[in-house]
Amino acid sequence: MHTTFRLGNREFDRLAFLFKEQKGVDIVKVQLINAMQRKQLVNLMYISKSGEISKRCVKIIEVSSEKFLAYCFVKRDKRTFIIDNVLAAIPIIRRENEII
């Protein structure tokens, strides 16, 4: 199952990186916590320890300081992800009248 999602333009990504560096805010971690609180699914672009890049659709279960636990719909199992290895995190917005 391949998931398609949109990444922001380069300028936005650059500004987000600069904001993160200047303010000490981990933007990805904030996105993950918000998605967990809202019970949203998230499309991730993730790089593994071996350098392999993958796209995942996940439901966040728990977020700690450096890692997060999520149910991965690609692997059909719970997985632990390293926050610093998340290249992009895009919450999936569903309409209320949408049937799942």
64 pLDDT above the threshold of 60: yes
Report the percentage of the chain scoring pLDDT > 70.
69
Q: What are 67's strand-pairing partners?
A: 82
> Would you say 28 and 82 are in contact if contact means Cβ atoms under 8 Å apart?
no
Q: What are 15's strand-pairing partners?
A: none
Q: Kindly list the domain boundaries of the chain, sorted by start residue.
A: 26-91
Range with the poorest average pLDDT among 16-25, 43-52, 91-100 = 16-25
Domain at 26-91: CATH architecture: Roll (2.30)
Give the mean pLDDT of 61-87.
Answer: 94
The answer to whether the pTM exceeds 0.85 is: no
CA 19 – CA 57 distance, rounded (Å): 26
